[in-house]
Amino acid sequence: MKIGYARVSTGLQNLDLQKDSLEHYGCEKIFTDYMSGAKSHRPGLGQAIEFTRSGDMIVVWRLDRLGRNMEDLIQVVNHLKNRGVSFHSLQENITMDKGSSTGQLMFHLFAAFAEFERNLILERSSAGRIAARARGRIGGRPEKFNKQDLVLLKTLVDNQTPIATIAERWQVSRTTIYRYLKKMEDKNEQT
C-alpha cells in the first residue's frame, strides 16, 4: 500500500499540489502536517509511520517535506527500512527499499543537496536582515499609528470614548489600542 505524507510550514500555505501529486501516484491514504520541518515532533508523520505495515511505501512530494536536515531524513528513512517499509520521493524520483543500493546512494546525495540548499537560504536571509539593519530598518510590520494618530488616540481616551469605538475607527483590535496606550504611558514615564 502507498501511504502519502504532505507537509507545509504554516497554515497559510496550501497542501493541494502535494496531495494531488500523491493521489496521482496512487497513494490510498495521505497524512498531513501544518508545521515547520525543523520540528522533531510532527503528528502527521508519526501517524503515517504507525499506519504502515511491512511491504508498504511512504511517498512524499519532495525530500524536504520529510525533514529539514540530512540527519533527520536519514533517521526517518532508516526507521522505515527497519520496519520493512520502502520510501519514495516524487520530485527527486528516488525509491529506497530493502535491496536498493543505488536508491540509498541517490537518497544520501539528494539529502545532502537539500540540507545545503536550506543552509544557503538561512545564510541569505540572515545577510538580508543584517543589511537592512545597517540601513536603519528594524524589520517587522510598520507602525499602525503615526504621531497625529497617537495625539488623536490620547484625546479620544481622555474624553472617555469607548475603546471599542476607537478600535473600530482605525480597524484594529482593542488589544492594539491598549498596547499603544501602554507604549505612550511608558514613554511618558521615561521623560
| Cβ contacts of 10 within 8 Å, gap of 6 or more | 34
Q: Report the percentage of the chain scoring pLDDT > 90.
A: 28
- Strands 86-89 and 94-96 come out as antiparallel
Distance CA 94, CA 161 (A): 64
CA–CA separation, 9 vs 37, rounded Å?
Answer: 7
Q: What distance in Å separates the CA atoms of residue 10 and residue 37, rounded to the nearest whole number? A: 10
The CATH number fitting domain 2-122, selected from 3.20.20.70, 3.40.50.1390, 3.20.20.480, 3.40.50.720: 3.40.50.1390
Domain boundaries, the chain: 2-122, 147-190
- Residue 191 has a pLDDT of 67
- Cα gap 158→156, rounded to integer Å: 5
pLDDT tens track for 111-158:
777 778 778 888 888 888 888 888 887 777 778 888 888 889 889 988
Give 65's DSSP letter.
G
Give me the amino acid identity at 68.
Answer: R
Q: For the ranges 85-89, 99-103, 115-119, which has the lowest average pLDDT?
A: 99-103
Helix, strand or coil for residue 84? coil
Residues 59/30, Cβ–Cβ less than 8 Å? no
Cell of 39: 520540528
Q: Which residues are catalytic?
A: 9
Instruction: Specify the pLDDT at position 99.
Output: 62
